[in-house]
């Protein structure tokens, strides 16, 4: 098989530390399975690079990264002490901009964020059924509220007007909805293999093993809300085996807290997906365990990007205290992504997921250092 | 004093039932305090009216309502069985439209939604500190994402483009932020009277008794995010006694789950406020206890509108099973609103709040009918 190449971009704060453990695990798996896997590290994007060069990445950054099959990103941002407005006002957006540049530059039109409350992860909800939380939020990652069109008229005056345009295309809408249905089917097939069948009800009362819930705010944001709804209704006809469901984004937030275990696949717009994935992440244990995958499933020449959703945590950086769990779940997802073309990669990905999950379950609440966790997981992998 | 007049619009489903108990309590308080209070009932806005007249309210509805000091609204919408797409696609937006028409027509530019987890209310979070949740979410209610500008180009084709414009003015931004700071002060004063002091930290390390947190998504929605942030920084200088804080909307959702007790006043845009208030409502007990106030604090000729945030619950309508608690908290808020000009009204409002809260605390989990709850609260009021 051809070599699969990863661009590793550790980034800021705890990024390098957690990325170090991801590499340790990848190394272990490479040896074990004889994976045809290589990686290079980059000092950018990062706050340090920005300090020195006045920009978070070199001008040809995307061109350099394009040679790889995936980007594994540690963490970005050096927002300084929370709530320091000077730094807040100046730096946060700059330091995180590369995330958006990569998504856009490589047309990573899917953002996949699984949220499963695994044993050992922190449970914020009182209801015991929270243990059954197992959803996949699929966020449209290429347009919508994030097109950055708009401006400020009469800036700084009493008469100022700020506008921000949301732009949604039918093409991007169709592809993300179809992707959602495909994932619902794939998840049902996986569960079936594992003997974990879930049941959802279709509109005409039939039982299905998977479900897609479409999120909009169509009672207020009518135009794209209607387009999304119509596209969803149309495409759902091709998937009679998948139950469908609609929620308004505000009600969805409420139901994520009340009955999160009732969701399977959730499809949402860029901004609404951003909001719902943070909520889903905390309900399934918090940022310390949450992976995020920015995927381009259509163009094999474009690298996909994998990042934990946690921040760079500058307050604990460099002390070996950061928990690499989210990073390792992210690396597992990346291997599974490679697994679409190479079954050994898929196996390695599942093994890594299993080892991280087992480590989490056994060490709930234990105080361990970054390396200690990484080493324990590698031992599991080699055992 | 002049007569204060309320337009009561019971609406759909359980609306008339819960409104009935609000009137019962208002009647009790009117007698007790000799309140100069009158009300008229309207059969619209409602689904029934829509069925008969092809519109949810008569054409001169706003003109009729304008003669009143406030609108007390039960519940709107008859979306039918959840997840029936035909009805979903056709009716939901129509039936709820009057809410937006009133907010707009009467320039109710503040939406105030208090979220306090009271004894007896359902606690969704595992952490015991949830008992300390006591925040006021202030939602900009007049513009932003809700201006309804946009459209669908090449509708229904593969090449369709849907746009939705967000429009924010500095004027509306300034007034909602200033309102937030004023409320923070007022809440601190109230707490001080009750001997419940809370502490928040300012940027230079001082301690304050109140806080305002500004929500934006300025790292992605730059234009109005920056304008909001600059307006907030500027206005905050006039309130050195109030601590300030910034959150991005996605992080705010997470922190609402992780540390909701750390928030005091939260100021958010129309859509982000819509999302955060639903989340705050569920974290403080759910829709069964959540009031919502749509206020015009600047123009005394414009009625404000008070509504519980729950839906019309068609599945239990007409059976005397609906819990009027949210409606009664809403009525209490309305009286307190009248209390800005008339101290007796303020007293009556506080009494109603106290009676509903005491009833909730004593009857947690009890199965009681709509009228039974209303009567119990009236007995407390007359005792
Ligand atoms: C950093 C920010 C621009 C980004 C987003 O809004 O997409 C982040 O919140 C995320 O969810 O990956
Ligand atoms: C019914 C709907 C238009 C409304 C809104 O989005 O404002 C509702 O969700 C609310 O929060 O009052």
* Per-residue tokens: B347: 């007293």
* Per-residue tokens: A233: 């209704």
CA distance to A77, A333, A338, B185, B357, per residue, from A99 (Å): 10, 18, 21, 39, 47
Q: What is the pLDDT of residues B190-229, one digit of tens each?
A: 999 999 999 998 777 889 999 999 999 998 999 999 999 9
**What distance in Å separates the CA atoms of residue B231 and residue A158, rounded to the nearest whole number?**
10
Contact list, B161 vs chain A (CB under 8 Å): 167-170
**Pair type for strands B70-75 and B134-140:** unpaired
The conformation of residue B121, written as its DSSP 8-state character, comes to S
Q: Residue B246 and residue A88: Cβ atoms within 8 Å?
A: yes
CATH (residue range A1-119+297-383)? 3.40.718.10
Residue A187, CA atoms < 13 Å, CB-side half-sphere:
26
Q: Is B163 on the interface with A (CB under 8 A)?
A: yes
Q: What is the pLDDT of residues B7-60, one digit of tens each?
A: 999 999 999 999 999 999 999 999 999 999 999 999 999 988 988 998 999 999
What's the CA-to-centroid distance between B326 and ligand 2, angstroms?
16
pLDDT value, residue A79: 57
Q: Which of A372, A381, A304, A305 is nearest to A349 (CA)?
A: A381
CB proximity under 8 Å: B 266-305 to A: 271, 274-275, 277-279, 281-283, 286-287
What's the CA-to-centroid distance between B274 and ligand 2, angstroms?
7
Q: What residue owns the CA closest to ligand 1's atom 7? A: A274
CB proximity under 8 Å: B 169-188 to A: 169-171, 174
pLDDT value, residue B92: 52
* Per-residue tokens: B22: 């609000």
**Pair type for strands A243-248 and A211-216:** parallel
Q: Is B257 on the interface with A (CB under 8 A)?
A: yes
pLDDT value, residue B315: 86
Question: Which residue do the tokens 């991007």 mark?
Answer: A172
Query: Quick one: three-class SS letters along B125-160?
Result: ECCHHHHHCEEEEEEECCCEEEEEEEEEECCCCCCC
Q: For the domain with range B123-284, which CATH number is right: 3.40.718.10, 3.30.930.10, 3.40.50.1240, 3.30.540.10?
A: 3.40.718.10
Altogether, the residues listed in chain A come to a count of: 383
**What distance in Å separates the CA atoms of residue B372 and residue B378, rounded to the nearest whole number?**
10
Residue in B158, B171, B283 nearest the CB of A257: B283
CB B134 within 8 A of CB A131: no
* Per-residue tokens: B213: 């947190």
CB A32 within 8 A of CB A381: yes
Helical pair A343-362 and A325-338, crossing angle rounded to 10 deg: 160
**Pair type for strands B37-41 and B70-75:** unpaired
Query: Each residue of B163-191: b (16+ CB within 10 Å) or e?
Result: bbbbbbbbbbbbbbbbbbbbbbbebbeeb
Which ligand has the minimum distance to the alpha carbon of residue B306? Answer: 2
Q: Which of B4, B3, B2, B1 is nearest to B337 (CA)?
A: B4
**What distance in Å separates the CA atoms of residue B97 and residue B314, rounded to the nearest whole number?**
18
What's the CA-to-centroid distance between A177 and ligand 1, angstroms?
21
Average pLDDT of every residue of chain B = 94
pLDDT value, residue A87: 47
Which segments within A76-158 are labelled E, that is strand? 110-116, 134-140, 144-153
Question: Which residue do the tokens 């992707």 mark?
Answer: A179
CB B375 within 8 A of CB B136: no
pLDDT value, residue B205: 80
Q: Residue B222 and residue A148: Cβ atoms within 8 Å?
A: yes
Among B98, B216, B257, B326, the residue to mutate for chain A (most A Cβ within 10 A): B257
**CA of B170 to nearest chain A CA: how many angstroms apart?**
5
pLDDT value, residue B82: 44
pLDDT value, residue B83: 42
Contact list, B287 vs chain A (CB under 8 Å): 254
Q: Which residues pair with B165 in a beta bridge?
A: A165, B149
CB B352 within 8 A of CB B381: yes
Q: Is A206 on the interface with B (CB under 8 A)?
A: no
Contact list, A160 vs chain B (CB under 8 Å): 169-170, 227
* Per-residue tokens: A58: 């070199």
pLDDT value, residue B124: 98
CB B88 within 8 A of CB B275: no
Ranges of residues in chain A with a pLDDT under 50 are 81-91
Whether residue B141 has pLDDT greater than 70: yes
pLDDT value, residue A93: 53
**What distance in Å separates the CA atoms of residue A220 and residue B15, rounded to the nearest whole number?**
22
pLDDT-derived band at B80, boundaries 50, 70, 90: low
Instruction: Name residues whose C-beta falls within 8 Å of residue B189's C-beta, 6 or more positions apart in sequence.
Output: none
Please indicate whether residue A205 or residue B94 has the higher confidence score (pLDDT): A205
Q: What residue owns the CA closest to ligand 2's atom 5? A: B274
Q: Is B223 on the interface with A (CB under 8 A)?
A: yes
Q: What is the pLDDT of residues B150-192, one digit of tens each?
A: 999 999 999 999 999 999 999 999 999 999 999 999 999 999 9
What's the CA-to-centroid distance between B273 and ligand 2, angstroms?
10
Q: Which helix (H) or strand (E) holds A41?
A: strand A37-41
- Asked if B1-115+287-383 and B123-284 have one fold, the answer is yes
> Once rounded to an integer, what is the mean pLDDT over residues B82-87?
46
Residue in A152, A157, A275 nearest the CB of B250: A275
CB proximity under 8 Å: B 230-249 to A: 230, 233, 244-246, 249
**What distance in Å separates the CA atoms of residue B28 and residue B340, rounded to the nearest whole number?**
21
Residues with CB under 6 A from ligand 2: A 219-220, 250; B 96, 99-100, 274
CA distance to B118, B190, B361, B364, B372, per residue, from B357 (Å): 7, 17, 6, 11, 15
**CA of A198 to nearest chain B CA: how many angstroms apart?**
19
Q: Which helix (H) or strand (E) holds B30?
A: helix B15-33
CATH (residue range B1-115+287-383)? 3.40.718.10
- Give the other-Cβ count within 10 Å of B362's Cβ: 12
A77: closest chain B residue by CA: B219
Question: Which residue do the tokens 């992860």 mark?
Answer: A121
Instruction: Name residues whose C-beta falls within 8 Å of residue B370's C-beta, 6 or more positions apart in sequence.
Output: B14, B17, B18, B20, B21, B320, B321, B322, B323, B324
CB A117 within 8 A of CB A289: no
What are the residue boundaries of the structural domains of chain A, listed by start?
Answer: 1-119+297-383, 123-284
Atom nearest to A271 CA in ligand 1: 6
What's the CA-to-centroid distance between A315 and ligand 1, angstroms?
20
DSSP state string for B37-74: EEEEE---SSHHHHHHHSSSS-TTHHHHHTTSSEEEEE
């Amino acid at each position: 098989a051809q070599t699969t190449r990863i661009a590793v971009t550790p980034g800021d704060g705890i990024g390098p530390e957690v990325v170090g453990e991801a590499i340790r695990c990848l190394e272990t798996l490479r040896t074990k399975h004889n994976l045809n896997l290589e990686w290079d590290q980059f000092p950018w994007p990062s706050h340090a690079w920005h300090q020195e060069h006045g920009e978070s990445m070199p001008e040809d950054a995307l061109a350099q990264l394009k040679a790889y099959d995936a980007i594994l990103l540690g963490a970005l941002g050096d927002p300084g002490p929370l709530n320091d407005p000077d730094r807040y006002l100046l730096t946060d957006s700059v330091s995180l901009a590369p995330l958006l540049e990569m998504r856009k530059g490589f047309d990573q039109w899917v953002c996949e964020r699984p949220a499963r409350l695994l044993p050992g992860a922190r449970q914020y909800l009182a209801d015991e059924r929270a243990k059954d939380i197992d959803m996949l939020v699929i966020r449209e990652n290429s347009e919508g509220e994030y097109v950055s069109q708009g401006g400020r008229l009469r800036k700084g005056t009493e008469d100022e007007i700020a506008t921000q345009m949301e732009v949604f295309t039918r093409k991007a809408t169709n592809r993300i909805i179809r992707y959602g249905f495909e994932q619902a089917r794939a998840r049902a097939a996986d569960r079936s293999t594992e003997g974990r069948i879930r049941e959802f009800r279709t509109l005409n009362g039939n039982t299905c093993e998977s479900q897609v819930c479409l999120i909009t705010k169509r009672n207020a944001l009518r135009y794209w809300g209607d387009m999304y709804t119509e596209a969803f209704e149309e495409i759902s006809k091709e998937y009679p085996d998948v139950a469908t469901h609609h929620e308004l984004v505000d009600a969805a937030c409420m139901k994520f807290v009340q009955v999160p275990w009732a969701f399977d696949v959730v499809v949402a717009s860029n901004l609404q997906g951003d909001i719902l994935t943070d909520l889903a992440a905390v309900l399934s244990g918090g940022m310390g365990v949450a992976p995020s995958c920015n995927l381009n499933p259509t163009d094999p020449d474009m690298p996909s990007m994998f990042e934990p959703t946690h921040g760079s945590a500058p307050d604990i950086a460099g002390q070996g205290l950061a928990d690499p769990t989210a990073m390792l779940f992210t690396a597992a997802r990346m291997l599974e992504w490679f697994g679409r073309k190479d079954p050994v990669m898929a196996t390695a990905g599942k093994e890594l997921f299993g080892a991280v999950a087992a480590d989490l379950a056994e060490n709930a609440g234990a105080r361990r250092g970054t390396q200690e966790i990484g080493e324990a997981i590698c031992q599991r992998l080699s055992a």
